[in-house]
Amino acid sequence: MSISVAIAGATGYAGGEILRLLLSHPAYQSGELTIGALTGASNAGARVGDIMPHVAPLADRRIEATNADTLSGHDVVFLGLPHGHSAAIAKDLGEDVAIIDCGADFRLKDAAEWEHYYDSEHAGTWTYGIPELPGNREVIKNSRRIAVPGCFPTGGTLAALPSVAKGLVEPDLSIVSITGTSGAGKKAAVPLLGSEVMGNLRAYNTAGKHRHTAEFLQNLGVYAEDLKVSFTPVLAPTSRGILTTITAPLKDASLSEEAAREVYREFYASEPFVQILAEGLQPQTQSVIGSNLVQIQVEVDQRSGRLLMTSAIDNLTKGTGGAAVQCMNLVTGLNETAGLPQVGVAP
């Protein structure tokens, strides 16, 4: 079997992370997987080594223009494009091509929710790319169009899912996620300048305005009627990583912490990229940077009668590029964990 892949938007953070992971993938090392077209917009014609000097093995390759002609003919096409750009490319690629989109264009099922948050026409819905959602792994395996989740909903959904699905909490979630600057993408923006970010913490898109709120509701609303989600993202002076805390009222105030943790252990017992931490340990971003791992802790706040769920992910790996490669592995019949580190680079 030979698998050829192309990456649209290869010079962005999502595309660059996919490329980093593919270069270490055992199928690439064996020659079973080949890396074809690497495309971009403003960087078309540039050497990879000049734009992404860390991608040394492909330094002399040239970035090509992003269009259907360049991307067609590959078995798998990754789209690392800004929101609103994937649909136009996807419609010109044949059904025989597996497309894995890292943008938001096809994540939401509800057209009204899309139009509310993105202020444009809904392009449609693709298979949602979290294999850890119950029953979703087989759906991904049989799909040719996959929408990689947003980075916030990845860590937050996996942290809250067992408690909501197993009825441990009331359907009223308060979610706070602290994120590094790479989550905003590789673009020039004043709020992301070093002098604006260093030594500073800032909440943004607060009070239900953040677009990922719709994904939380979509993912977890399946398991709870009238689900409420209050989501607050916070920008921190770091490049990668997301630390998420979630609180919700307990349905049974007598639930012990060990019992709650056991529910999580059983729920994720067969998941290679989910680690439920032992009592007394806390998720931290430095433990997951560079890996496809999700670290989760669950605790009972007896005085407030609430469950506390905490998760840490690397927003560019499990939150974007790693999720895309994980889905590629499933679609192409490769080992799901192939090329995806389960060990972080701490410190």
| E-state strands within 214-305 | 228-235, 242-249, 274-276, 294-301
Whether residue 158 is found in the same domain as residue 144: no
Contact status, residue 44 vs residue 65, Cβ threshold 8 Å:
yes
> What per-residue confidence (pLDDT) applies to 283?
97
> What per-residue confidence (pLDDT) applies to 335?
96
Q: Tell me the pairing of strands 228-235 and 145-147.
A: unpaired
Residue 47, SS3 per DSSP: strand
66 is a domain residue = yes
Whether residue 166 is found in the same domain as residue 305: yes
Give the tens place of pLDDT for each residue, 45-57. Answer: 888 888 889 988 9
* Structure tokens, 239: 């490049």
68 is a domain residue = yes
Chain-centre distance of CA 84, in angstroms? 18
Side-chain half-sphere CA neighbours of 285 within 13 A: 19
> What per-residue confidence (pLDDT) applies to 321?
96
341 is a domain residue = no
Whether residue 142 is found in the same domain as residue 213: no
Contact status, residue 232 vs residue 212, Cβ threshold 8 Å:
no
Instruction: Tell whether omega for the bond before 53 is within 30 degrees of 0, i.e. cis.
Output: no
> What per-residue confidence (pLDDT) applies to 184?
63
Residues of the chain with pLDDT under 70: 183-188, 190, 192
Q: Could you tell me which of 213, 212, 219 has the C-alpha nearest to residue 134?
A: 219
344 is a domain residue = no
234 is a domain residue = yes
Q: Which domain holds residue 292?
A: 152-313
Instruction: Specify the number of domains making up the chain.
Output: 2
Whether residue 251 is found in the same domain as residue 328: no
Whether residue 304 is found in the same domain as residue 327: no
338 is a domain residue = no
Residue 284, SS3 per DSSP: coil
345 is a domain residue = no
Whether residue 140 is found in the same domain as residue 280: no
Q: How far lies 291's CA from each of 234, 280, 318, 329, 343, in Å?
A: 22, 22, 7, 16, 6
User: Among 14, 19, 22, 151, which one carries the catalytic annotation?
Assistant: 151
> What per-residue confidence (pLDDT) applies to 188?
62
Whether residue 114 is found in the same domain as residue 164: no
Whether residue 68 is found in the same domain as residue 114: yes
Give the tens place of pLDDT for each residue, 304-336. Answer: 999 999 999 999 999 999 999 999 999 999 999
CA distance linking residue 165 with residue 176, whole number of Å: 20
At 331, give phi and psi (nearest 5°): -65, -40
Give the tens place of pLDDT for each residue, 150-181. Answer: 999 999 999 999 999 999 999 999 999 999 87
Whether residue 276 is found in the same domain as residue 174: yes
Contact status, residue 284 vs residue 148, Cβ threshold 8 Å:
no
Predicted TM-score (pTM) of the model is 0.93
* Structure tokens, 110: 């509800």
**Catalytic annotation present for 327:** no
Contact status, residue 341 vs residue 291, Cβ threshold 8 Å:
yes
> What per-residue confidence (pLDDT) applies to 266?
97
CA distance linking residue 185 with residue 240, whole number of Å: 11
Q: What is the CATH number of the domain that holds 251?
A: 3.30.360.10
Q: Which residues contact 266 (CB under 8 A, 6 or more apart)?
A: none
256 is a domain residue = yes
Side-chain half-sphere CA neighbours of 32 within 13 A: 13
Q: What is the CATH number of the domain that holds 107?
A: 3.40.50.720
Whether residue 141 is found in the same domain as residue 192: no
> What per-residue confidence (pLDDT) applies to 45?
80
